[in-house]
Structure 1
């Protein structure tokens, strides 16, 4: 019998594990790797710390992340034009990584914030909306509502 080894996402160490595993996958992903290519040349550890700060701020309200994440994505778009399929793949990979490692409300919140962030960045960077990205966001919102009902 297989036991579920996933656990609650509860602290900075969990975020660091999630971010490290996600970026390992993103760096080798055939769609996403081009956006993270420069990180292979010495900037990865600094970037992972910043991303962990971002998620620590979003999930646990620590206010560690002080940068403008939209500006980062505008710079990325200038190098490689961002497509909705890139954001869709990011969401797929993020959700799969979260689901592999964690369960519970904070894990669902991480998936929702990730999809929400993709919708916002895509709209701001391209000036258009993506029904596919918005659909992913709604799916995660429905999952969150279902979990809330089950907790009652």
Structure 2
């Protein structure tokens, strides 16, 4: 029986399971594997990120957007990221916090994609 996300151990399960999928995914795996050569420090940072995001526990330091901005990420990459993330949450958890976690991931994906697209400019936009 699935339970809700309630503690740090649940976050570790979520993050580890999710990034196992990411590393082997044919669309986003190569992007992340090209820049992350040692996954353990990244996983530990993500444990702290989600612990802070979901439970307000201090300990995360960093700027997630700054790390993603230089990557060649497009809309389909964020869609796949969300697909894998939601699949991971749904595989292991159910409940209010699980749903909230998926909503937060969706908001982050929308925000990151929007910022990346705005950084690139476009035909209707002149960046000097």
TM range (shorter): 0.7 to 0.9
SS of 2:73's partner is coil
In structure 1, what is the Cα distance between the partners aligned to 2:78 and 2:104?
13
Match in the other structure for 2:122: none
Give the gaps of 5 or more residues in structure 1.
129-152
1:74 maps to 2:74: no
More helix by share: 1
Q: TM-score, normalised by structure 2?
A: 0.88
Give the gaps of 5 or more residues in structure 2.
120-128
In structure 2, what is the Cα distance between the partners aligned to 1:75 and 1:110?
25
Task: After the TM superposition, list the runs of 4 or more consecutive aligned residues in structure 1 that deviate by more than 2 angstroms.
Answer: none
Residue 46 of structure 1 and its aligned partner are, at CA, apart by: 0.5
RMSD between superposed Cα atoms in Å: 1.2
SS of 1:7's partner is coil
RCO higher in 1 or 2 (8 Å CA, sep ≥ 6)?
Answer: 2
1:108 maps to 2:99: yes
SS of 1:113's partner is helix
Number of aligned positions between the proteins = 118
SS of 1:67's partner is coil
In structure 1, what is the Cα distance between the partners aligned to 2:22 and 2:2?
21
In structure 1, what is the Cα distance between the partners aligned to 2:58 and 2:98?
19
Deviations 1:8-48 (A, max 9, x none): 11000100011001000110001110222133x3x211000
Please list, as runs of the form range in 1=range in 2, the aligned pairs for 1:3-152 lying within 5 A after superposition: 5-37=1-33, 38-39=35-36, 41=37, 43-76=38-71, 81-127=72-118
